[in-house]
């Protein structure tokens, strides 16, 4: 069941008992408003329990469209049959403000900001302090990943999306070195997007654009990108398939989805290999406690298979102390040490002895990296697949 015109779309999803609103609901015809109202009323009358109204992809609504929603909420209040959930994204100012007011119409209306605390580690991942860690990772990965991206099909002139683009370093490198016609970077971190825009301006990069957005509900058209990147991000979300579905939706038929993930079992070092393994076992476990999956790299192939992608390609991007600068490698592990032993420890209220163990483990790893005879690796799994025609 759905209604739409060329600017908006209201689609009923029976699985979640949800009407998904998308597009731009600025309407100036009473007949059109009545159609929208009738649709909501009909859906309302057909169900029991909870009805969800999901506005995460509705960019604009005018006062007329709002009246249709308001009248429906009054109808639902008068019927007193269902609990209503108004689901919004905090990227959309209108929804956060006006639908909050509308939630006061009835006690049976709940106002839900979907992308507030929608993954366990959100507050720290989206913080300004996380940017140095992202930058250090990119510095090490890019020289190796550049070739992997080409091998996986990223070519000149393509329209590319970088979902969960973080502070935008990789998007800007792709824009400058691989010459897509356009790369659109989307991230949910205001600090990250702000940083990316400043860099874009500083580097005068014309073929890139950055947007604040929710990766599980992207404000991007269906079938609009030749190559869709999502790097080291699926692993931090508790519902990775919500994001994978969006990557699939925005990819053109024949286009490719490229994802990467870490696998903490593949971080090794010598000397003191046991101590090094021990710290990443601990860190991987605490990541799980924060809702992350730091062993996600090994699962990417299956995820792409589940999405019925074809021509699946996989690669290991192996950063080691031979192919990469030891100081840069050490700097990245220093960022991890800070993130894990300070930020995550404090989030999880870890006791002092655990924190000390973590710090000691990272220090051992740092020694192995800095020691000229020492050796260490950090492996990232890259996987991509082609979207087939329906």
Contacting residues toward another protein, per CB under 8 A: 7, 24, 26, 28, 30, 33-34, 59-60, 62-64, 66-68, 70-71, 74-75, 78, 91-94, 97-98, 100-102, 104-105, 190, 193-194, 197-198, 201, 211-213
* Cα separation, 384 vs 312, whole angstroms: 6
- In angstroms, give the least distance from the CB of 74 to another protein: 7
- In angstroms, give the least distance from the CB of 45 to another protein: 16
Nearer to another protein, 190 or 302 (CB): 190
Nearer to another protein, 140 or 184 (CB): 184
- In angstroms, give the least distance from the CB of 104 to another protein: 7
Nearer to another protein, 194 or 291 (CB): 194
- In angstroms, give the least distance from the CB of 285 to another protein: 35
DSSP string, 286-353: HHHHTT--TTGGGGHHHHHHHTT-EEEEEEEEEEETTTS-HHHHHHHHHHHHIIIIIIIHHHTT--HH
- In angstroms, give the least distance from the CB of 91 to another protein: 6
Q: Which residues touch 135 (CB under 8 Å, ≥6 apart)?
A: 167, 169
Q: Which residues touch 40 (CB under 8 Å, ≥6 apart)?
A: 10, 19, 53, 68, 69, 72
Place of tokens 């779309």: 9
Nearer to another protein, 34 or 177 (CB): 34
* Cα separation, 245 vs 13, whole angstroms: 15
Q: No. of H helices and E strands in the chain?
A: 14, 14
Q: Which residues of 160-170 are buried (b: 16+ CB within 10 A; e: fewer)?
A: bbbbbbbbbbb
- In angstroms, give the least distance from the CB of 75 to another protein: 8
Nearer to another protein, 41 or 363 (CB): 41
- In angstroms, give the least distance from the CB of 326 to another protein: 36
* Rounded (10°) angle between helices 169-177 and 131-151: 40
Dihedral class, residue 254 (left if φ above 0, else alpha if ψ from -120 to 50, else beta): left
Nearer to another protein, 79 or 388 (CB): 79
Side-chain-facing half-sphere of 314: CA atoms under 13 Å: 15
Nearer to another protein, 78 or 390 (CB): 78
């Amino acid at each position: 069941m759905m209604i739409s015109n060329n600017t908006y779309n209201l689609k009923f999803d029976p699985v979640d008992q949800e009407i998904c609103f998308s597009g731009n609901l600025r309407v100036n015809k009473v007949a059109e408003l009545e159609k929208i109202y009738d649709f909501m009323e009909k859906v309302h009358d057909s169900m029991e329990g909870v009805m969800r109204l999901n506005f995460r992809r509705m960019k604009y609504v005018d006062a007329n469209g709002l009246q249709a929603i308001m009248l429906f909420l009054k109808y639902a209040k008068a019927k007193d049959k269902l609990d209503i959930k108004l689901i919004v994204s905090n990227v959309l100012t209108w929804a956060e403000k006006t639908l909050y007011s509308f939630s006061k119409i009835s006690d049976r209306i709940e106002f839900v900001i979907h992308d507030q605390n929608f993954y366990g580690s959100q507050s720290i991942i989206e913080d300004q302090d996380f940017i140095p860690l992202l930058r250090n990772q990119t510095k090490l990965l890019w020289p190796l990943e550049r070739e992997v991206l080409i091998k996986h099909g990223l070519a000149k002139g393509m329209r590319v999306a970088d979902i969960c683009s973080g502070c935008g370093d990789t998007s800007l490198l792709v824009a400058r070195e691989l010459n897509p016609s356009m790369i659109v970077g989307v991230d949910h971190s205001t600090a990250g997007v702000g940083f990316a825009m400043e860099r874009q301006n500083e580097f005068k990069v014309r073929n890139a654009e950055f947007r604040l957005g929710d990766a599980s509900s992207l404000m991007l058209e269906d079938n609009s990108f030749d190559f869709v990147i999502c790097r080291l991000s699926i692993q931090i979300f508790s519902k990775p398939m919500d994001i994978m579905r969006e990557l699939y939706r925005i990819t053109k038929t024949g286009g490719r989805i490229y994802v990467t993930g870490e696998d903490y079992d593949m971080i090794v070092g010598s000397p003191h290999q046991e101590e090094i393994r021990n710290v990443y076992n601990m860190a991987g476990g605490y990541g799980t406690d924060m809702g992350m999956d730091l062993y996600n790299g090994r699962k990417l192939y299956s995820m792409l298979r589940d999405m019925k992608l074809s021509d699946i390609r996989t690669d290991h991007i192996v950063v080691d102390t031979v192919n990469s600068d030891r100081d840069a490698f050490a700097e990245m592990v220093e960022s991890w040490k800070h993130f894990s032993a300070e930020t995550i420890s404090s989030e999880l209220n870890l006791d002092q002895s655990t924190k000390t163990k973590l710090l000691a483990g990272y220090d051992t790893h740092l020694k192995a990296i800095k020691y000229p005879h020492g050796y260490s690796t950090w492996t990232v799994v890259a996987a991509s697949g082609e979207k087939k025609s329906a």
